[in-house]
Structure 1
Amino acid sequence: MRAFGVEFLLLFGVVGAELCEKHFRSRIEKGKLTAKGDLETEDGILHAKGTFWKDSGDSFWACPCLTGSCLWICNKDLIKRIEETFNVTFNLNSTIEIWDVNNSSRQVVLKEHFKLVQDSKCSHPVLLEPEVVDLDEHRILANGTLHYTHANLSEEYRFSDPRNFCVIPLDNSPPVITVCVDVAETPLKFYLYTPFFILSALFLLLTLVAYCFVGPAERKSLHNKTICCQSAALLIVYICLSITYLTGGYNAMWFCVSTTYFTYYFLLASFFWLNVMCVDMYLTFRSLTRTVEIKYWQASVYAWGVPSVFAVVMILADQLTTGPLSPDIGKARCWFNGFLTELLYFDGVIIILLVANVVLFGMTAIQLWRLRRESRRVLQTSNSRTHMGTDTQQNRDRLTLFFKMFLLMGCLWVMEVISWAAKGPDSYWYLTDILNSLRGVLIFWFCVWSKKSVRKALLGKITQWWKNPILETASPQHSTSNTGSTPMTLSTASGLNEL
């Protein structure tokens, strides 16, 4: 049908802008008509009669794709940049390797085999670098289609229409291929989630500051140290996510891979610290007199060390292996490149931790009920009842806080996995994703604002910081001589050291 249309155009000499769409046109500033009525360009390319027209000036417009398979030649500015950067020379007479349907290749002269649409307009050209990025491995087929050959790519991403890339043929070198990316198509999530990531990072920082200002006894509590370590891990996660999303996903390969490694380790560590909190809760309620106690250094070795082992294994697998079990970080996105690898290196570990937390939480709740029943029968004096009531209320508060943290870290994470596995439009999951993005704000609410002692310590220090600079500016000598007025930075450092 297409051949009949072309013959009709050629037979009746139809000319004008209706011959082809703008994207299929080439502007020819210097051309001459042959005796047969064809148009010959200064590069020696012939455009058949009926496939071009003359504009109001001295230039011509041609529709090369009407008579054969097309390739788009990149625009002159991009060609000039490539020539200067790589010290190469643009040449339309160069040869190019093409592949046929029977998987055989041959060398052809570019301008003889393909019809060339020159001065392609790419809003955001991205250079393919198969020597650096495995996913950029490609072939040009005989019909002009770009075929990506990497085994990990799904079928829908293996072929690219000639309109979606452009070619820069070079002397004595393989052609440079650039893929045309429309920057305007950056997903909405890069704009929607970033403010929430930054907000979470700020509130996590406030959480750390608040726990630096509580009393010495509270600072030494394993429970509070666990909150601080988990908040610190999530703070680094949200910083990495903020940077990645602020750049819109267009990052250098090394940057993408590095931030993913950091995100992976610290996100994993945050779940291990939640597990430490759960184990600590269980041991607290196991008996009236606590016989087993976790040391902070033991918790640190576990919650920082085990994720380190997982991270080293994942990084080695990413750098040294290929195939279905390779994480392939940064190959398609700044995260794992497949469901199986994400399940193996990340999701599977989190599922095991969450199941363990559910079991320990259930056992802790049962033990708390038993202890309350036993205490009513054993303790008779009013003082004992008062003391027991205070301890029970404190333990109940800790259990309630853990339950909130478990829901926050566990349930929201499960929703995130479901949204990723279920696919579908991003808009379906905006609400759950935003809640995940606000995790730092919720942690601040649960661990700081809803705890009176921690909230008072934070507000007191903020008030002191607000007033002290004014006093120090008015009377610097008095501030220096008064040993009781300690600068806020020293107080913060002291609190961190005690942690």
Structure 2
Amino acid sequence: MGCKLFVFMTNLLVISLVSCNPCSRQQSINITSGDLQDGNSILHGGLVYKTGQWYEVEEDGIVSRFGCPCLESNRVCIRKCCNPRHMYLGYTCKEPPEESLLVFNPKVHKGKDLLNVTASLHFFYLHGLQCDKYLVDPSVDPEVLYIQENGTLLEYSQINDTAQWVAPSEYCVDMMTDDRDSIRMIALICYQNTNHADDSPALYISYAVGLLLSVLFFLATFMVYAFIPELRNLHGMCLMAYCAGLIVAYICLAYLKMHFGEDGEDTMTGCIVIAFIVYYSFQTSFFWLNVMCFDIWRTFSGYRGSTSTKKREMRRFAVYGVYAWGMPALLTACTLSMQYAKLPYWVIKPGFGDRKCWFSNWLSELVYFYPSVLALVICNLVLFTITAHRIRSIRQETAILKGSKSTSKLKQDKQRYSLYLKLFIVMGINWTVELVSFAVGGSNWYWVLLDISNIMLGFFIFIIFVWKKKVRNLARRRYRSIRGLPPITSEFRKSTNVTSTAVTEESRLSSDDAHVRLKDMN
């Protein structure tokens, strides 16, 4: 056994020595066009690559030569983001209009101290950077970049007074100019290896598929309430608006999950746009949930009009829409302005697209996302508590009254309260889980079961609001009506009762409810 192991290790060592190149492809440049001298040296770009400093690669029958300039003892390799004679004009690599800008000669430091070193003579520039990376722009980010004599980059954060050392192979630098500032040096830095094993493509794709499956349930709920006239009342329209926001948010989240790890200017621009769409969509869902909580509180508080006509419901829905769509739009506009405003370094910015599509760090998320969510959750909890107390009082009052109509209406509105309470509990559990995972952190594998609850939100809402006997009966009747089929006999006998129950369950108390309250008897 020991002999076989020795032979295996020896063969493995021989194979590795035979196939090993003097440097990796990332640390190489193509020198196929160079001059071959004496059969073992290649002159390319003013450098002589001796034996052991270059290698050949055959791909599709074509032999190419690659040199290893970083093996030269008198030159240090760093990476330039754009090609030679190019720089960033805006966020695109282009040839600069002025000849003086063609020479890339950044400052060289020892720590934070400036050295009298000419970068163009001290460094050898490799071009491009193949990794999942983020942008550091000192004119936008409160960070300072220091290129060290040995090629290492010091990334210093002015917010929390911390420094990060980045290896030469993990970043690239270049000059940039735009309408925001004068010419400055920016850096693209590879994400550090802190993502655990959870960032496997399989996990992200599975999460995206789960989100899209949940979208189907949101869409089914939306369509049922849209196509059944009896359900298109104020409550139904609010629920449709709530589902619409989550449909958009979940689709965009699925897109981000499926495109995780891709880079490039177009991808990053799309990433930022989608991040703002997700931000707005989630905010609208929370505000519409708040509207539904307010509406059920209003139903039991006695603040209602004399009639409950379709016109009044549409007018009230318009008022609710101004609030539930307008407030998220205002929050998104504020976040957008803070994202692109030129502010002092100590001001916390959203940082969409800096290190990832979503907020750049937990502090930005804490400032720009969670305050409104927390405020709405607390408000909803207060409204539900007050409503529960009011239901108890009304139940005691109706015990004195023997009117079947008032008792029936109370029961129907209590059912609607129960629906909203279930929705609030489901949303509360999901976002409590989100807050816990946000605070604790760690590998995504730790939170798989908890993330499933977020993915299952669409299914839960479908079960709560659609998968009920009364709604199924209405859907069956609507389908037969559209197809021109006669109603089922047993269903026809119950249609009046079913329709009345379903409609009143999903709408507010009418003027006939006035005698439910004891004080209305006086």
Task: Give me the whole-angstrom Cα distance separating, in 1, the residues matched to 2:279 and 2:443.
Answer: 25
Task: Give me the whole-angstrom Cα distance separating, in 1, the residues matched to 2:245 and 2:239.
Answer: 10
The yes-or-no answer on 1:440 pairing with 2:462 is: no
User: Could you list the per-position Cα deviations for residues 233-280 of structure 1 after superposition, in whole angstroms to 9, with x for gaps in the alignment?
Assistant: 222222322332232264634322322222222211211111121122
* Alpha-carbon shift at residue 16 of structure 1 (Å): 9.3
User: Could you list the per-position Cα deviations for residues 2-33 of structure 1 after superposition, in whole angstroms to 9, with x for gaps in the alignment?
Assistant: xxxxxxxxxxxxx9998976579768775658
Task: Give me the whole-angstrom Cα distance separating, in 2, the residues matched to 1:427 and 1:359.
Answer: 35
Q: What residue in structure 2 maps to residue 208 of structure 1?
A: 222
The answer for unaligned runs of 5 or more in structure 1 is 1-14, 469-499
Q: What residue in structure 1 maps to residue 389 of structure 2?
A: 366
Q: What residue in structure 1 maps to residue 245 of structure 2?
A: 233
The letter for the 1-side match of 2:369 is: F
Task: Give me the whole-angstrom Cα distance separating, in 1, the residues matched to 2:85 and 2:474.
Answer: 59
The yes-or-no answer on 1:317 pairing with 2:338 is: yes
Q: What residue in structure 1 maps to residue 317 of structure 2?
A: 296
The yes-or-no answer on 1:342 pairing with 2:354 is: no
The yes-or-no answer on 1:455 pairing with 2:472 is: yes
Task: Give me the whole-angstrom Cα distance separating, in 2, the residues matched to 1:441 and 1:106.
Answer: 65
Task: Give me the whole-angstrom Cα distance separating, in 1, the residues matched to 2:187 and 2:332.
Answer: 35
The yes-or-no answer on 1:113 pairing with 2:99 is: no
Alignment of structure 1 residues 155-304 onto 2, 5 Å: 155=162, 158-165=164-171, 189-216=203-230, 218-220=231-233, 222-248=234-260, 250=262, 252-286=267-301, 295-304=316-325
Q: Structure 1 pair 118/284, CA: closer, same or farther in 2 (3 Å)?
A: closer
The DSSP-based 3-state class of the residue aligned with 2:359 is coil
* Alpha-carbon shift at residue 227 of structure 1 (Å): 0.9
Task: Give me the whole-angstrom Cα distance separating, in 2, the residues matched to 1:411 and 1:268.
Answer: 17
Q: Structure 1 pair 69/151, CA: closer, same or farther in 2 (3 Å)?
A: farther
Task: Give me the whole-angstrom Cα distance separating, in 2, the residues matched to 1:207 and 1:360.
Answer: 25
Q: What fraction of aligned residue pairs are identical, expressed as a percent?
A: 26
* Alpha-carbon shift at residue 345 of structure 1 (Å): 2.6
Q: Structure 1 pair 315/207, CA: closer, same or farther in 2 (3 Å)?
A: same
* Alpha-carbon shift at residue 371 of structure 1 (Å): 1.7
Task: Give me the whole-angstrom Cα distance separating, in 1, the residues matched to 2:408 and 2:364.
Answer: 48
The DSSP-based 3-state class of the residue aligned with 1:193 is helix
The letter for the 1-side match of 2:355 is: A
The DSSP-based 3-state class of the residue aligned with 1:324 is coil
CA contact (8 A) 2:219 2:247 kept: yes
Q: What residue in structure 2 maps to residue 4 of structure 1?
A: none
The yes-or-no answer on 1:351 pairing with 2:389 is: no
* Alpha-carbon shift at residue 230 of structure 1 (Å): 0.9
The letter for the 1-side match of 2:432 is: V
CA contact (8 A) 2:78 2:151 kept: no
User: Could you list the per-position Cα deviations for residues 402-457 of structure 1 after superposition, in whole angstroms to 9, with x for gaps in the alignment?
Assistant: 1111012222112112211211111111222222123222212211123x333334
The letter for the 2-side match of 1:434 is: I
Task: Give me the whole-angstrom Cα distance separating, in 2, the residues matched to 1:326 and 1:119.
Answer: 31
The letter for the 2-side match of 1:403 is: L
Among 141, 146, 149, the residue aligned to 1:142? 149
| Structure 1 range deviating more: 240-249 or 124-133 | 124-133
Task: Give me the whole-angstrom Cα distance separating, in 2, the residues matched to 1:140 and 1:334.
Answer: 27
Task: Give me the whole-angstrom Cα distance separating, in 2, the residues matched to 1:212 and 1:456.
Answer: 15
User: Could you list the per-position Cα deviations for residues 330-363 of structure 1 after superposition, in whole angstroms to 9, with x for gaps in the alignment?
Assistant: 2222222333432333211111111121122112
The DSSP-based 3-state class of the residue aligned with 1:335 is coil
CA contact (8 A) 1:96 1:107 kept: no
Q: Structure 1 pair 26/215, CA: closer, same or farther in 2 (3 Å)?
A: closer
CA contact (8 A) 1:31 1:39 kept: yes
CA contact (8 A) 1:70 1:162 kept: no
* Alpha-carbon shift at residue 189 of structure 1 (Å): 4.5
The yes-or-no answer on 1:387 pairing with 2:405 is: yes
Task: Give me the whole-angstrom Cα distance separating, in 1, the residues matched to 2:185 and 2:168.
Answer: 15
CA contact (8 A) 1:213 1:457 kept: no
* TM-score w.r.t. length of structure 2: 0.66
Q: What residue in structure 2 maps to residue 485 of structure 1?
A: none
The DSSP-based 3-state class of the residue aligned with 1:432 is helix
| Structure 1 range deviating more: 60-69 or 293-302 | 60-69
The answer for unaligned runs of 5 or more in structure 2 is 1-16, 58-62, 176-182, 485-522
Q: Structure 1 pair 41/96, CA: closer, same or farther in 2 (3 Å)?
A: farther
The DSSP-based 3-state class of the residue aligned with 2:107 is strand
Q: What residue in structure 2 maps to residue 402 of structure 1?
A: 420
Q: What residue in structure 1 maps to residue 3 of structure 2?
A: none
The letter for the 1-side match of 2:288 is: W
The yes-or-no answer on 1:308 pairing with 2:329 is: yes
Task: Give me the whole-angstrom Cα distance separating, in 2, the residues matched to 1:149 and 1:326.
Answer: 17
Q: Structure 1 pair 307/229, CA: closer, same or farther in 2 (3 Å)?
A: same
The DSSP-based 3-state class of the residue aligned with 1:343 is helix
Q: What residue in structure 1 maps to residue 352 of structure 2?
A: 329
Q: Structure 1 pair 334/462, CA: closer, same or farther in 2 (3 Å)?
A: farther
The letter for the 1-side match of 2:226 is: C
The letter for the 2-side match of 1:415 is: V
* TM-score w.r.t. length of structure 1: 0.69
Task: Give me the whole-angstrom Cα distance separating, in 2, the residues matched to 1:301 and 1:174.
Answer: 44
User: Could you list the per-position Cα deviations for residues 125-155 of structure 1 after superposition, in whole angstroms to 9, with x for gaps in the alignment?
Assistant: 8696849975897442211013345646984
CA contact (8 A) 2:276 2:332 kept: yes
Task: Give me the whole-angstrom Cα distance separating, in 2, the residues matched to 1:304 and 1:58.
Answer: 59
* Alpha-carbon shift at residue 306 of structure 1 (Å): 2.3
Q: Structure 1 pair 99/81, CA: closer, same or farther in 2 (3 Å)?
A: closer
| Structure 1 range deviating more: 341-350 or 285-294 | 285-294
Q: What residue in structure 1 maps to residue 107 of structure 2?
A: 97
The letter for the 2-side match of 1:86 is: K
CA contact (8 A) 2:433 2:450 kept: yes
Q: What residue in structure 2 maps to residue 494 of structure 1?
A: none
| Structure 1 range deviating more: 307-316 or 228-237 | 307-316
| Structure 1 range deviating more: 433-442 or 243-252 | 243-252
Task: Give me the whole-angstrom Cα distance separating, in 2, the residues matched to 1:316 and 1:119.
Answer: 34
Task: Give me the whole-angstrom Cα distance separating, in 1, the residues matched to 2:139 and 2:111.
Answer: 27
The letter for the 2-side match of 1:197 is: L
| Structure 1 range deviating more: 273-282 or 97-106 | 97-106
Q: What residue in structure 2 maps to residue 478 of structure 1?
A: none
* Alpha-carbon shift at residue 379 of structure 1 (Å): 2.1
* Alpha-carbon shift at residue 81 of structure 1 (Å): 12
